[in-house]
Structures are given as C-alpha cells and as structure tokens.
Structure 1
Amino acid sequence: MRTRQVFRSTGRLADGREIIYYDESPDTGRAAVADRRPLPPFSTGSQLRYDPLLDEWVALAAHRQNRTFLPPPDECPLDPTQGERLSEIPADDYDVVVFENRFPSLAPAPDVPAAAAGDPALSVRPGAGRCEVVCFTSDHSASFGDLSPERARTVIEAWADRTEALGARPDVAHVYPFENRGIEIGVTLQHPHGQIYGYPFVPPRIRAMGEAARKHRESTGANLFDTVVAGERSAGTRVVAGGEHWTAFVPAAARWPYEVRVFPLRRVPTLAQLDEDQREELAHLYLHLLRAFDGLFPPPDEGTDPPTPYISAWHQAPVGADGTPDAEFALHLQLFTLRRAPGKLKYLAGSESGMAAWINDVAPEDAAERIRAALPATAAARPTES
C-alpha cells in the first residue's frame, strides 16, 4: 500500500505555546502565520496530590475554572483566524492542527514542595506532563463522523506522531488521545476537537490493565489482550464489525449502555506502531462506528435528542524511563456513550461514583445487535468482517 504523506510544520502562538499543523498539501505556509493576539507569556501550572488510600495521584488545576465555556459560534477559539476575528489558530484555514492547551490540566508549576510544613497528610509534586488540543477540521459545524476517510487518516497520523513525541519526554509515562462529544459529556467548546494528555504517571485504568495482563501471563503464559480478543471473535455474538486488520466488539462485561472496543488483530502497544494497512483500515472502520452511534437514536429534529454524546478513548501502553512502550500492552480504542435510551442518560450515581462498582442498563448482546443494525447505512464502505 502507498505510504500516506502528511506534511507537518510547527510554529509558536503569541504566549509561546507550540502549534503543529498536519496538512494534506505541501508548502501551505500556515505555521509561519503570526499570532496577532496580545497574550502574556504562558505560565499556567498544576500540581499532583497523592491519595494514599487508593495509591493514586489527583491533579489540581484550579486555573481551569476560568477556561472558555460554550462561547457563541462566532467566538469559538478553535475556528481559524478570519480577518480581525483572532483565534487559537493563526492561519485562515487548516486540515488538522494540534496545539498546547491554554488551560491545561497538566503543566509544570514552579515551587511545588514535596510536602507541606505542618500538613503531614499532604504529599504533592509538580503537575508535569502536557495537554494538547487536536482540531479535526476547520469546519465548525462538522463532527468527526462527517470527515472523509482521507481526513480521518490525517487525524490518525497526528495521533501517532504526537504519541511518539510525547512518549519520548522524560516527564511523560503515558499518552492518552481522546475525544469528548456533547454537552452531556462536559464539552465546553462545540468545535470538533479532541485532546491528548501526556500523563506524568500511569493512569489507574492503564495500571490495572497492566497488572491484570502480568497475572494472566504468569498463570497461562499467554497475552491477556490476545486472549480476550480471540474469545470475543470466537463467541461472535458481540462482534460489531471488523476487517482484515481490526475487530470491533461490545465487551462481555460492558459498563456503558453502548460501548465498543476496537483492537488491531496484530497487537501493537501504541498508535505509533500501527503500519500503513492498519492505519488505512482504521480510518474507514472508525468512521462507520461513529456514524452507527449517531444512528442508535432518533435524528436531532425538534423535540428529540441532540446527536449522540460519546467519549472516544485510546488505551495505549505506558512508557518506561527510556521512552519504550510496554510490549505486553495492546493498543485499543474504547468508544462509548452514556445515553441509554432516547431522552435518558446513564448517570454515575451511588454505586458507580461511590464504589466504582458498575451496573449496566443494557445487555451487551442487545447493544451489539443494535449497533450492527445501525451500520447498514454506511455498509458500502465497511470493511468485510473476518
């Protein structure tokens, strides 16, 4: 297969933050366009506080209280700059763009002591790491599911490139690309975009998966992720879609009403290790799944629900001190919605929020059948199931 070429160029915003354009055509000159906003130097920071009861780190980022919140469409900071309407993206157009978040959850803060005098219960460290914004298109009214396969592939290239770059940083232990869509999820900007977190620690979910994989290897000699994928494919009842290189299924113990896991059939630890064929098929399969999620509920006409809210979360291998990802971990996508029925959301109430003990309202087998039924509208370009 012909290698997909994406043209990468880097610039700086007025306050010193990095901005990276991923263009589908060469020599656009977008990175050279100056940011004309009178911004002060970027100096925001956060801190990490340790919870000894759960052996987890919690980020404290009080400055995020002042972040931009649901501005009107003509004031969206993720649109390209147009004349005197200045935004976070200085260029007047773009294909895909990544930049440092102006209101990051993770950013090194100066003068964070290891412990507070007279407060033996407080253990803190600087909130090192990095938070980036990924804009999928310059079209404010679009969504990821509206993109062409070519543009989806450009986003995948950006994810892979940032995974490799952030994973090489000494202050990053895990790279997490994700997208939140819908105000029900907590989105504060409506423009189609996602984020990438470079955590300075291994997040609890990834750490738990790694520990489960280690125990499985010790007891069976096999890779846990390979075992799970093989089991779901053998059962077949919860498989939603697939092709030569990927498989998508509703997990047997799904937590969310509609939840899909997407695994490459050749196990790799991160997006950066995907080959050309895997990336190309993923661009098509991912679009079909997003469109299927939008087909689960009535269209957004008057008196009905808005488009399906979802979280799309890439689970990648943690990286060691030398920047090498854990080869035992398997890259996979978790795509889920908290909508359980038209007009009804799945709330994380007493059991889920208080005890982290999940109760699902929809049988995974039923969810898989409904997602499969929502696929035919896009089946013409759908990869053949294996």
Structure 2
Amino acid sequence: MSETLNSAPHRRYNILTGEWVLVSPHRTKRPWQGKSEKAAVEKRPQYVPDCYLCPGNTRSSGAVNPDYKEPFTFENDFPALMPEGPSEKISNGLLQAESETCICKVVCFSPDHSLTLPLMEIQDIVKVIETWKKEYKELGSQPGINYVQIFENKGDVMGCSNPHPHGQIWSQRSLPPEIVKKSKHQLEFWEVNKKSLIKAYLEQELETQERVILQNDHFVALVPYWAVWPYEVMIVPREHYQHIGQLNTEEESAFAEIIKQLCIRYDNLFNTSFPYSSGIHQAPTGGEDHPEWHFHMLFYPPLLRSATVKKFMVGYELFASPQRDITAEQAAEALRNLPDIHYTRLQNER
C-alpha cells in the first residue's frame, strides 16, 4: 500500500459492484475522536421464559417452538414479503411497479439464549452451516424462487429485536440489486478470462497479505480493498464455489472455524459484543448455471472507535458516495493482532 494513500484522501474501486468509496485517513487526526469506553459485559441466561425464540416457548403468532437441541428454522411470523399474493404489473409512463413474493424464514442458531457465534463451539456452528446449506437447496429449488439471501443482524443497533442467537433467510422471485450488480461484473470478467473474478482478487490479496486477517486451508478472511464499513470483512473460499451447497464436511468445519475466529476478534476489538450485519452472497437459483459466481460472506459492523462510537451513513454518504476514515489496511492490522481467545474468557482466567 502506498504510504501517500495510507495518509491522504483518495477513492477506491469496488470490482464487484462497479462503485467507488472515498477514503479519508487524515480525518483520524481530528481533535475529537469520540468517547472511548468499555461497555458493560452483558450476561444473559441460557433460557428466557418470554423469549419467542427459546425452545418450548409460544411465539407471538401462537405457534409453539419445539424443544429443539440443534438449529431450528420456521417461517417468519411477521415477514416483510409473503409467499403468495396477487400477480400484478404496472407500467404507467415513468411509474412502474410489480408484485413480489418471498419465503422469509428465521434460523435459531442454538437453543442457548446466552450464546453468540464467537461463544459457540465450532461443531455447533457447523450445524448452522449445514442448516444454511439445506435451506439454500430446498428454497432455491422451489418454483418462482430465484435468489436465497442468508443473513444475520446482531445487536439492537443493527435492528435486531431479539438477542437470542438467530439469523434469517429471504428467498424471493426477483434478484436483489446488489446481486444484479455483482452478477454483471463477475460475468464480464468470466467471459473474458474464464476465471472467477473473486479468485483472481484473492490471489492478489494473498500475495501482499496487507488486508488478510485470518486464513486456513479452505477459507480466507480479509478486509476488502474497497471496504465501506470501518471493520468490514469478507470471508472467501479458496476454491471457486458458486454456493455453500458445494462445501464438503472438511470445508464446513473450516468455514465454521474462521467465522468463530473472526467474531472473537470483533468482540475483542472493543471488549463488547460487537454488532454487525452479515450475509452470504452466492449464485442465483432458478435452475441456470452461474460459472462466474464465487460465493462470499460479508460482515458490515458499525463500530468505529469504541464500543459506543458508531459509524453512521449520513450527509455526503447518503447523498453522494460512501466514505471511510481508517484505511482497509489499518483495519486489517487492528483485527489481525487481536487475541484469538474471547475477552470474557481471558478475564475469567485472570
């Protein structure tokens, strides 16, 4: 990384979306950097009687959860989109609208209310990955479903309404705009080079190691060169896989290991349960081959300088372009150098 660009304003290109992000590293020298403090460690019980995701409890819809011991999925009681509905399309001059359908599901990662991914055992995260694979295959094979989005919102600042460890899966008829953009750029590269765009990018990142945080035999976790969020991370399989359904048993364990290790470092950064939105981008379903696609998992965390100072997309970022203060290299170095044992367990050992 150029020393000039590491300290001076510049912009970086996102090869997957075709968009640019402004980087302003000199802003970290501002006199006020925000209050820095340690957040209180939240201790939650393993079971909460009025939690609508705990085993055996009654949800607000009246449905009763089974006494599940492993990941449990169900159709969202209050989905943003419905599986069925009227089919209608409007085209009135410049005004356009069309019906949209979707199957929205909730995935409870664990029966234990007190856990988050960094505190779960690797074998239990593997069970979550196996559930994601199963849902991707089953939902993606249904008529009218062309994309399956797996994601998690962690922390109330990210809009998570229940701290019980869980994520969601939305499978819908149309392709989301982010997937349309990534499909376009990956396909353009594939048609010219007959090689995965992300595979080529990963090879370059592994040469420099500047933005690599973690790696094992099957996966690499790195801060993307074009990252927008302060500590944004992308997990990429070394093999050119279009979707998670192609992972074998050994690769599932490697995926679980790197997710856990990344989330431990997130929590250790500011000694807090680090909020984020994470999601897996993978090939559209619907029956077509997508040799250009290379699946990847993204983490978008809002914390900037402490457990209480957050990055908000406001002002110029809303009206013009995303912008970040710390460089991707600085963020990667900070995460890379953190302990691989969760801070709460380090405290207990003292």
Task: Deviation per CA, 1:156-175: give whole Å up to 9, x if none.
Answer: 00000000111111221111
- TM-aligned CA deviation for residue 223 of structure 1: 2.3
Task: Deviation per CA, 1:233-273: give whole Å up to 9, x if none.
Answer: 11111111111111111111111100111111111111111
**Quick one: which amino acid aligns to residue 70 of structure 2?**
D
Where do residues 1-386 of structure 1 align in structure 2 (5 Å cutoff)?
74-81=49-56, 88-115=63-90, 121-299=94-272, 307-320=273-286, 323-342=287-306, 343-355=308-320, 357-377=321-341
* Conservation of the 8 A alpha-carbon contact between 1:257 and 1:360: yes
> % of aligned pairs identical?
29
**Quick one: which amino acid aligns to residue 100 of structure 1?**
E
Cα distance in 1 between the residues matched to 2:151 and 2:259: 13
Cα distance in 2 between the residues matched to 1:157 and 1:163: 10
Cα distance in 1 between the residues matched to 2:190 and 2:269: 38
* Conservation of the 8 A alpha-carbon contact between 2:211 and 2:225: yes
Q: Secondary structure at 1:251's aligned position in 2? A: coil
Cα distance in 2 between the residues matched to 1:292 and 1:84: 33
Q: 1:93 to 1:169 in 2, by over 3 A?
A: closer
- TM-aligned CA deviation for residue 219 of structure 1: 4.1
**Quick one: which amino acid aligns to residue 373 of structure 1?**
N
Cα distance in 2 between the residues matched to 1:161 and 1:84: 24
Q: 1:352 to 1:200 in 2, by over 3 A?
A: farther
Q: Secondary structure at 1:377's aligned position in 2? A: coil
* Conservation of the 8 A alpha-carbon contact between 1:77 and 1:88: no
* Conservation of the 8 A alpha-carbon contact between 2:151 and 2:280: yes
Cα distance in 1 between the residues matched to 2:216 and 2:260: 14
Question: Scaled by the length of structure 2, what TM-score is found?
Answer: 0.78
**Quick one: which amino acid aligns to residue 102 of structure 2?**
G
User: Match of 1:384?
Assistant: none
Q: 1:86 to 1:79 in 2, by over 3 A?
A: farther
Aligned length: 295
Task: Deviation per CA, 1:32-88: give whole Å up to 9, x if none.
Answer: xxxxxxxxxxxxxxxxxxxxxxxxxxxxxxxxxxxxxxxx95422111125999975
* Conservation of the 8 A alpha-carbon contact between 2:274 and 2:301: yes
* Conservation of the 8 A alpha-carbon contact between 1:112 and 1:124: no
Task: Deviation per CA, 1:116-170: give whole Å up to 9, x if none.
Answer: 8xx6554333321211000011111221221111110100000000001111112
- TM-aligned CA deviation for residue 94 of structure 1: 2.7
Cα distance in 1 between the residues matched to 2:60 and 2:101: 33
**Quick one: which amino acid aligns to residue 315 of structure 1?**
H
User: Match of 2:37?
Assistant: none
Task: Deviation per CA, 1:5-52: give whole Å up to 9, x if none.
Answer: xxxxxxxxxxxxxxxxxxxxxxxxxxxxxxxxxxxxxxxxxxxxxxxx
User: Structure 1: which 4+ aligned runs deviate by more than 4 Å?
Assistant: 82-89, 119-122
Q: 1:108 to 1:284 in 2, by over 3 A?
A: closer
Cα distance in 1 between the residues matched to 2:216 and 2:83: 42
Cα distance in 2 between the residues matched to 1:220 and 1:84: 51
Deviates more, 1:211-220 or 1:129-138: 211-220
Task: Deviation per CA, 1:279-304: give whole Å up to 9, x if none.
Answer: 111111111111111011034xxxxx
Cα distance in 1 between the residues matched to 2:58 and 2:79: 27
Q: 1:121 to 1:92 in 2, by over 3 A?
A: same
Q: 1:93 to 1:163 in 2, by over 3 A?
A: closer
Deviates more, 1:99-108 or 1:250-259: 99-108
Stretches of structure 1 that go unaligned for 5 or more consecutive residues are: 1-71, 300-306, 379-386
* Conservation of the 8 A alpha-carbon contact between 1:288 and 1:375: no
* Conservation of the 8 A alpha-carbon contact between 2:107 and 2:168: yes
CA RMSD of aligned residues (A): 2.3
Q: 1:100 to 1:82 in 2, by over 3 A?
A: closer
Cα distance in 2 between the residues matched to 1:327 and 1:218: 10
Q: 1:82 to 1:164 in 2, by over 3 A?
A: closer
Q: Secondary structure at 1:352's aligned position in 2? A: helix
* Conservation of the 8 A alpha-carbon contact between 2:58 and 2:64: no
Stretches of structure 2 that go unaligned for 5 or more consecutive residues are: 1-46, 343-350
Cα distance in 2 between the residues matched to 1:87 and 1:78: 12
Question: Scaled by the length of structure 1, what TM-score is found?
Answer: 0.71
- The higher relative CO (CA closer than 8 Å, separation ≥ 6) is in 2
